[in-house]
Amino acid sequence: MRRLYTALLRLALPALLLRLWWRGRREPGYRSFVAERLGRYATPRSEKLVWVHAVSVGEARAAAPLVHMLRRALPDHAVLMTCTTAAGRQMLKQVYGESVLIAYLPYDFPRTVQRFLEHFRPRLGVLMETEVWPNLLSACSANGVPVVLANARMSEKSARGYARWPSLTRPAFASLAAVCAQSAADAERLRALGATTVQVTGNLKFDVEPDPRQLEHGQAWRAALARPVLLLASTREGEEKLLLGQVPPTDNVLVVVVPRHPQRFDEVAALAESRRTHSPAPAPQDRVHLGDTMGEMAFYFAASDVAVVGGSFVPLGGQNLIEALAAGAPVVIGPSIFNFAEATRLALEAGAAIQVADARSAVKEALSLLANPQKRAAMSEAGKRLCAAHRGATARHLAACLKVLDSKNVVRP
């Protein structure tokens, strides 16, 4: 089955390269370092190296606590961070600077992944969340590179998809040296798919602390406005119109929209009167302000009175609500939350979030919260307590990674 998978992937290669060129119209980063996607690297290699793969922006942020702990625990090892998207590469540079090596993960062809492993020779691989690639994991096994699946999640829908191709996917899951699952339900589904060494370690995203300077600036920004602020956070295509269409034009509410993907900033700008990169302080008559900066989510959450978290009003599984909870923002979220099912369940039970059925209900609930400062304050404190109670996943992940290294007879300092 893996041979058929590889053959089909090879047939798709022209389309994959064309897609890079096409996406590069709006995100030039897709047209850079194309050779890396084919397993050819100019990045210098280190004698001792740990490799962490964070596919895009969310994973790059979530990996930060673990990467910092790995660097402290293994001071004589370099850290290689790989990603798949141009936005992810930009975020890696922003979060880690020059402290790590950065490259694109190659396409999942046997030769490209072999060149990748031969160039960098990692002693340990850490794949974030759901990055299970059959040829990559087979090559890691053949080259003696143990791989940990970190912050692992597996929705029922994804599990059914993997289960349709057991001869392809079961060997991949079985080859993992360790799996650190976000929840017991994730762990159960991962075991059913073939993973063996599985433990529940919690969600790394609870360990990502918001930047205190951004929190301070966001609170000052909101105070200077002297009007209620409703944040539409990490919105996906189509959600902005759905949600903005429900906000009454007579309300003295400033709606701040922060799209999930930077390539959509110009598109969404057509719905706004101002944008942060052009007008950091919106005019008093502005109804919609576009948040078109990267790496400032803590600022936006601190600047808001209520946050409606996107990706949940279209069938995409939701976006990260933990960032909002950590910053003390009351959260309203839609029906599609399979990517953050456990975190949403915890937030709802704690009284830190409210789930609604559609965009109309979301705006209605958010406007009700804007008129109820006591309830907002209670939700804010509940969110902060929830995040504090669920911290510690990073230490458990680190222990799992070091145990794998020890079991492979890798000498640590």
Give me the catalytic one of 27, 36, 59, 131. 59
Please state the three-class secondary structure of 10-60 as a single string: HHHHHHHHHHHHHHCCCCHHHHCCHHHHHCCCCCCCCCCEEEEECCCHHHH
CB atoms within 10 A of CB 122: 26
The strand pair at 229-235 and 78-83 is best described as unpaired
Residue 390 Rama label (left phi>0; alpha psi -120 to 50; beta): alpha
Output the CA–CA distances (angstroms, integers) from residue 103 to 39, 111, 153, in the order listed. 10, 17, 24
Residue 94 in 3-state DSSP? helix
What are the residue ranges of helices labelled H in 270-392? Answer: 297-302, 322-326, 341-350, 359-370, 373-389
Inter-CA distances, 203 with 104, 110, 189, 342, 395, Å: 25, 32, 16, 9, 11
59 is catalytic: yes
Strands 49-53 and 306-309 come out as unpaired
In the numeric block, which tokens belong to residue 287? 């109804």
Taking Cα atoms as reference points, which of 295, 404, 391 lies closest to residue 70?
A: 404
Specify the 3-state DSSP secondary structure of 350: helix
Instruction: Bin 88: left if φ > 0, else alpha if -120 < ψ < 50, else beta.
Output: alpha
Tokens read off for 136: 């990559």
Under a CB-based contact definition with an 8 Å cutoff, are residues 396 and 180 in contact?
Answer: yes
Are the CB atoms for 80 and 109 separated by under 8 Å?
no
Distances (CA, A) of 229 to 221, 262, 288, 307, 311: 10, 22, 10, 9, 20
* Three-state secondary-structure class, residue 251: coil
Question: How far apart, in whole angstroms, are the C-alpha atoms of residue 115 and residue 35?
Answer: 11
Estimate the crossing angle of helix 166-174 against helix 134-142, to 10 degrees: 40
Helix (H, G, I), strand (E, B) or coil at 257: strand
Q: Which residues are catalytic?
A: 59
